[in-house]
């Protein structure tokens, strides 16, 4: 396990958005912090350390998922009516693509994010208390849900949000079946151990574009081809209620949905309380609070409370 090196003030090991060519540098942070005992077995921990992701097919009962689904449907119809500030529409239509910051204003989803079956795994991996860096529901509607091109979340969170080190992970909960037809999450296993320095500048207010279609901070095709030749592609398919945890630096993406079946997932991004956001490394002003939380609330584990509606 690589021990994280002290970050010298003037050397950022993860500087990206360069004028030169895109290239790969080694990750200087561990994947699993402190190797604490907890919910994950030693085999699951070592799978996650090696591959950068873990899939659980039925962490929640179908009864629990039915509650969450009907609640999210209400949120979705409200968002459609009020054009909520935290909503992002698809690049080529007014279809709802994502609803951000749901954990903050919705108490059921906040309690879901704190559920011990999720938060216990998160704390075991990052080796500390966690807070929500970002939450969103990606709806990927049938026929209109466009792709999310290949990217490392950490590259954006480092450069545009000022996340210093790789001590964060995402948890994706399937609200609909994720199958081979409706654009499931695809990951390049083990890619989390390589950091792709991307070429190109960061436009001002980039998030207004990137959350709809990301062009900045994406690897070039030669690097993607090599990574995929070396490690392959895994698509995270699963039924309603399946949960995928993936490292902040794992290369991932998903295809457009040209099936009639929506691929709707809730994403909670957990950051260590010891890895709080600094100034964005791209030098521009910080992204809004609903995309990158700068006033963190450390989470405590509890059982989801369905009366929290």
Q: Which residue in the set 97, 103, 151, 158 belongs to the binding site for ligand 6CS (CB under 6 A)?
A: 151
Among 17, 103, 136, 146, binds ligand 6CS (CB under 6 A): 136
The option from Fe ion, ligand 6CS, none interacting with 123 (CB < 5 to 8 A, set by class) reads none
Kindly state the smallest distance separating residue 10's Cβ from ligand 6CS, in Å: 26
Q: Does 148 bind ligand 6CS (CB under 6 A)?
A: yes
Torsion on CA atoms 283, 286, 287, 293, rounded to nearest 10: 130
CB of 151 to ligand 6CS, least distance (A): 5
90, 106, 115, 153: which one binds ligand 6CS (CB under 6 A): 153
CB of 100 to ligand 6CS, least distance (A): 8
153 sits near Fe ion (criterion: CB under 5 A) = yes
Chosen from ligand 6CS, Fe ion, none, partner binding at 210 (C-beta under 5 to 8 Å by type): ligand 6CS
CB nearer to ligand 6CS: pick between 45 and 163: 163
In the range 184-223, which residues lie near ligand 6CS by CB under 6 A? Answer: 210, 214
Binding site for Fe ion (CB under 5 A): 153
Residues that bind ligand 6CS in the complex, under the rule CB under 6 A = 134, 136, 148, 151, 153, 156, 210, 214, 291
């Amino acid at each position: 396990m690589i021990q994280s090196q002290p970050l010298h003030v003037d050397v950022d090991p993860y500087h990206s958005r360069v004028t030169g060519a895109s290239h790969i540098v080694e990750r200087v942070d561990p994947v699993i912090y402190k190797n604490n005992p907890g919910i994950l077995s030693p085999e699951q921990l070592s799978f996650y350390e090696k591959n950068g992701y873990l899939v659980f097919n039925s962490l929640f009962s179908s009864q629990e998922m039915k509650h969450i689904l009907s609640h999210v449907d209400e949120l979705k119809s409200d968002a459609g009516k009020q054009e909520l500030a935290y909503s992002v529409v698809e690049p080529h239509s007014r279809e709802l693509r994502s609803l951000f910051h749901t954990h903050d204003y919705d108490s059921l989803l906040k309690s879901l994010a704190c559920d011990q079956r999720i938060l216990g795994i998160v704390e075991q991996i990052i080796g500390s208390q966690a807070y929500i860096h970002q939450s969103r529901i990606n709806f990927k509607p049938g026929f209109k849900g466009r792709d999310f091109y290949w990217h490392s979340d950490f590259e954006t969170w480092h450069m545009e949000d000022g996340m210093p080190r790789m001590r964060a992970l995402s948890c994706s909960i399937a609200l609909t079946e994720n199958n081979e037809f409706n654009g499931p999450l695809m990951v390049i296993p083990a890619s989390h151990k390589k950091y792709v320095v991307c070429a190109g500048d960061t436009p001002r207010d980039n998030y207004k574009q990137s959350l709809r279609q990301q062009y900045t901070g994406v690897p070039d095709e030669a690097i993607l081809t090599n990574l995929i030749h070396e490690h392959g592609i895994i698509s995270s398919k699963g039924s309603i209620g399946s949960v995928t945890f993936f490292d902040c630096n794992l290369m991932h993406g998903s295809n457009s949905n040209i099936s009639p079946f929506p691929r709707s997932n809730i994403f909670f991004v957990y950051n260590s309380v010891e890895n709080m956001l600094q100034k964005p490394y791209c030098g521009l002003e910080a992204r809004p609070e609903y995309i990158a939380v700068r006033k963190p609330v450390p989470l405590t584990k509890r059982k989801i409370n369905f009366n929290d509606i």
